[in-house]
Structure 1
Amino acid sequence: MNSSTSDISLLGRLPQGWRRALGAISVLWIATALGAVLAFLTQALLARELGPAEYGLFASSLATVTMVAPLAGFGLPQYWLQVYGVEGWQGNRWLTTSLRFITGSTVMTLSLVAVWSFVGAPLDARPLLLLLLPIVLGTLAVSLISSQLRLEERHYSMALWQLITPGSRMLVAVALLIVPSLDGRFVAIGFSLISLVFAAFALPRLLAMMRGGIQLHGHGPRPTAPMAGRSPSVARLWSLAWAYGLEATLYPIFFQISTVLLKYLNGNAQAGIFGIALGVMMAIYLIPSTVYQKFLLSKLHRWAVHDPRKFWKVYRHGAIAMLASGVLVALVLVVVSPWLVPIIFGEKYRPVVHVLTVLAVCVPVRFLSTAVSSALLNEQHMRYRVVAMGLSAVMVVVFNVILIPRYHEMGAAIATVAGEVSLLVAMYGGLRRFHARRTV
């Protein structure tokens, strides 16, 4: 009884801001963990019911659309965080231009996927690519609403929002258990219908935001009178946001290109094996993503300009915590994967264990690089990050082309490790370049 009272009094002595932050992070962590479990179970059901070859075809097609999807919006959701972090309520002047920017980039992205499906894609992938086109709209909707919720610091709504996608996709995977005759095309249709529902749900919220309906947090009350400031041109928005767009586009290429190249260079079965391993890594990477992208990012943009001392304190503590937790998670992954993978996915996916053993090296590397890159936020930093991400993506592609023909999915795993390490080195180099006095 005394121990419980002591614990309560200890929490009660924490500053109110700390208690709010811990509560928000806890909710986001729980939602992230639940989302990761749902995504993992969805992947396991699809892999078991479709088999390595058909699952590999579906996974590589989904990866192709996912890689291109960030071209819709082209970094605008990320740029909103920077604009509002610096300008506060004055950032509303960008909204009308944003709507035109979103419309043009989305039409271009949908056209690009459609053209590729007929001109460059293998014949067996063409139907799935066309069926998965609405994923572009769903990805854009999720990204835009997520940025809005971050700016409003509505962390509980953010937690619910991030559960909708994995929860809905889980229902599609369960349908395969109920009706075993369903195939990958049914899954593609199901995922696309979910994306269309997201887009329809997000549209009225986004239109309301475009009319100034955002409830911006951390910049004082809404001004009673309209703020001076002319709406910038689309060309001006493009000149400032392109780096955010390239980074958002390069990241899925950097992360998922191995699955696509395995399908093109080696076959559907090998792509299925690596797709399973990559899905596990994606679930693990939600840990640093939750802390930095969903909770801290809008705050870091604000602190970088208005409270540098707090910004650097959060950076240093975060880097240490990310490295320690990354090492711990990697060790757990190596220990549990040999017995857990066959149980969940079946014996035919046992090669996934060897791939995960190699990819475990990426865990502490990714955790630390997420923390390091959090100090590179403005336009100049983003241009550097784009170059670093581009070079790392090129390295992953080159290593894949060299290693996949001989080592198959293990070659793709080695290429992924090389890319993650090179990205961490580049991010640290950027930190030393732009913040030499702050680097410890």
Structure 2
Amino acid sequence: MKRDVLVPDGGFAARLPQGWRHALGAISMLWITTGLGAALTFLTQALLARELAPAGYGLFASSLATITMVAPLAGFGLPQYWLQVYGVEGWAANRWLRPSLRFIGASTLLTLSAVTVWSFTGATPDARRILWLLLPVVLSILAVNLLSSQQRLEERHRAMASWQLMIPGSRLLVATLLLLMPRLDVHFVAAGFGIIALCVALLALPRLLTMLRGGMQLHGHGQRPATMPDAVPPSMTYLWSQAWAYGAEAVLYPIFFQISTVLLKYLGGNAQAGIFGIALGVMTAIYLIPATLYQKFLLSKLHRWAAHDPAKFWMVYRQGSIAMLVSGLLVGAALALVSPWIVPIIFGEKYQPVVKVLMVLAVCVPIRFLSTAVSSSLLNEQHMRYRVFAMGLSAVVVIVLNALLIPAHHEMGAAVATVIGETSLLLALYMGVRRFHSDKRRAR
């Protein structure tokens, strides 16, 4: 079956083996589309920041961060678990699809209910309506994550890229309308984001139902068997027992990464949350560089190689770690150099405090790039339980440090807490690799 990748023609690329050319084409295409998505997101962020001012943007950013922190509860790691189970079982993993449908429905209902309860019991009055308007974002994140896992297993990289461009492209339209009609406010933005999210979820629904009924076109495991072997579908209880670690990590990561913005709103104010939210948006765009390579392109392959080709698995691990550290140092240095003059141009002089925050967060770039590579060797159920521990520990570090530093140092305190949290995560992941793989690495 022909895969939708772009293969460079001519020159150096033409002299590469066919497998390398296909890989280079897929990675290039993913990075181009990811870069375009990051540019659209960045432009949207800049327009919203300029039109809403720090206080209004902070209210919106902290509300959106709240939604995205709890959104992974819907599906609770199932998209990530699919990559592992299909990598090991191949076509036989279709037996997991039927209980997956029930699991998705139950977890999504619980997530929407949790946000609604929080809006009445814990949210401030100015955030309550915005949280309601942003509720469909939970559905769109779930839909895109499920489709992304399917398309990675099928190695349909172009389709995956187009779906992941849909949301940032549509959100830019909302920001443009706000620019053209300045009387509109933060509630219009929240409503626009919510409508976009609902449309994305509805567009994805037919494809998701086809997939969950066995329509997966799996790549890398040979042709689909004419008759599938008899296999008893696992129960929801057993599915939960196998997938919970993936779900816990999926929930803990946005808490670890975005809790500073939320805590700044409640411990500081909307304006401080807006300043840090801009800086975090810049970091999000930068972190797409390693995420594109490892999560969109390599992850399904790493699961397959870990089970069936360990030599290739460890070769990719070693070379990838070196490449990520070097590129992270270069990108971090570039961020520190360009921030002082690019931030005022894009966001305006009222966001000048963002520069100092980015100068601190630039330290995180090589740390995050390297931790992405290191974590790629921790893939199975036992490893995932350790990753949950590592992510949970780092999230606690970030929360405690934010609580201690924000009252006195505001957004700069949140930045320092983020750097220390990223460092603790890298150290914990490295200790995990030594714990689980030291003998195997010495044997290679």
- Superposition TM-score tier, normalisation by shorter sequence: over 0.9
TM-score by length of 1: 0.98
Match of 1:379 in 2: 381
Distance (whole Å) between structure 2 residues aligned to residue 439 and residue 396 of structure 1: 32
1:69 aligned residue (43, 68, 71): 71
Distance (whole Å) between structure 2 residues aligned to residue 209 and residue 333 of structure 1: 41
Match of 1:227 in 2: 229
Match of 2:408 in 1: 406
Shift of 1:227: 1.7
Shift of 1:439: 4.4
1:342-395 per-residue CA deviation (whole Å, 9 max, x = no partner) reads 000000000000000000000000000000000000000000000000000000
Distance (whole Å) between structure 2 residues aligned to residue 127 and residue 197 of structure 1: 20
One-letter code aligned to 1:295: F
1:150 aligned residue (152, 163, 167): 152
Match of 2:212 in 1: 210
Match of 2:333 in 1: 331
Match of 2:24 in 1: 22
1:431/1:439 contact within 8 Å kept = no
Distance (whole Å) between structure 2 residues aligned to residue 412 and residue 370 of structure 1: 22
Q: Give the 3-state SS of the residue equivalent to 1:228 in structure 2.
A: coil
Distance (whole Å) between structure 1 residues aligned to residue 57 and residue 308 of structure 2: 49
1:148-184 per-residue CA deviation (whole Å, 9 max, x = no partner) reads 1000000111121121111111111011111111111
Shift of 1:208: 0.6
2:316 aligned residue (314, 318, 321): 314
1:399/1:415 contact within 8 Å kept = yes
Compare 155-164 and 423-432 and name the one that shifted more. Answer: 155-164
One-letter code aligned to 2:117: V
1:259/1:275 contact within 8 Å kept = yes
One-letter code aligned to 2:72: P
1:93/1:230 contact within 8 Å kept = yes
Match of 1:247 in 2: 249
Distance (whole Å) between structure 2 residues aligned to residue 9 and residue 279 of structure 1: 37
Q: Give the 3-state SS of the residue equivalent to 1:437 in structure 2.
A: helix
Distance (whole Å) between structure 2 residues aligned to residue 436 and residue 43 of structure 1: 44
1:136 aligned residue (131, 135, 138): 138
Q: Give the 3-state SS of the residue equivalent to 1:391 in structure 2.
A: helix
Q: Give the 3-state SS of the residue equivalent to 2:404 in structure 1.
A: helix
Match of 2:179 in 1: 177
1:260 aligned residue (249, 262, 266): 262
1:67/1:249 contact within 8 Å kept = yes
Q: How many residue pairs get matched?
A: 434
Establish whether residue 37 from structure 1 lines up as the match of residue 39 from structure 2: yes
Match of 1:290 in 2: 292
Match of 2:54 in 1: 52
Distance (whole Å) between structure 2 residues aligned to residue 140 and residue 283 of structure 1: 20
Q: Give the 3-state SS of the residue equivalent to 2:84 in structure 1.
A: helix
TM-score by length of 2: 0.97
Q: Give the 3-state SS of the residue equivalent to 2:126 in structure 1.
A: coil
Q: Give the 3-state SS of the residue equivalent to 1:229 in structure 2.
A: coil
Shift of 1:226: 2.3
Distance (whole Å) between structure 2 residues aligned to residue 439 and residue 123 of structure 1: 54
Match of 2:4 in 1: none
One-letter code aligned to 2:101: L
Distance (whole Å) between structure 2 residues aligned to residue 438 and residue 379 of structure 1: 18
Distance (whole Å) between structure 1 residues aligned to residue 257 and residue 388 of structure 2: 14
Where do 5+ consecutive residues of structure 2 fail to align? 1-8
Match of 2:124 in 1: 122
One-letter code aligned to 1:425: L
Distance (whole Å) between structure 2 residues aligned to residue 185 and residue 152 of structure 1: 39
Q: Give the 3-state SS of the residue equivalent to 1:124 in structure 2.
A: helix
Q: Identity rate of aligned residues, in percent? A: 73
1:74/1:244 contact within 8 Å kept = yes
Shift of 1:9: 5.0
Match of 1:111 in 2: 113
Shift of 1:76: 0.1
Shift of 1:13: 2.1
2:33/2:161 contact within 8 Å kept = yes
1:31-79 per-residue CA deviation (whole Å, 9 max, x = no partner) reads 0111111110000000000000010000000000100000000000000
Compare 144-153 and 8-17 and name the one that shifted more. Answer: 8-17
Match of 1:4 in 2: none
Match of 1:3 in 2: none
2:272/2:410 contact within 8 Å kept = yes
2:396 aligned residue (376, 394, 397): 394
Distance (whole Å) between structure 1 residues aligned to residue 281 and residue 244 of structure 2: 29
2:92/2:228 contact within 8 Å kept = no
Q: Give the 3-state SS of the residue equivalent to 2:76 in structure 1.
A: coil
One-letter code aligned to 2:343: V
Note the aligned Cα RMSD (angstroms): 0.9
Moved over 4 A (4+): none
Shift of 1:437: 2.4
Q: Structure 1 pair 9/262, CA: closer, same or farther in 2 (3 Å)?
A: closer
Establish whether residue 83 from structure 1 lines up as the match of residue 91 from structure 2: no
Distance (whole Å) between structure 1 residues aligned to residue 291 and residue 348 of structure 2: 29
Establish whether residue 434 from structure 1 lines up as the match of residue 436 from structure 2: yes
1:97/1:237 contact within 8 Å kept = yes
Shift of 1:210: 1.4
Distance (whole Å) between structure 2 residues aligned to residue 260 and residue 216 of structure 1: 40
1:110/1:136 contact within 8 Å kept = yes
1:359 aligned residue (342, 358, 361): 361
2:314/2:441 contact within 8 Å kept = no
1:202-236 per-residue CA deviation (whole Å, 9 max, x = no partner) reads 11111111111110000000010122210000000
Compare 205-214 and 427-436 and name the one that shifted more. Answer: 205-214
One-letter code aligned to 1:25: I
One-letter code aligned to 2:200: F
Distance (whole Å) between structure 2 residues aligned to residue 426 and residue 228 of structure 1: 41
Shift of 1:438: 4.1
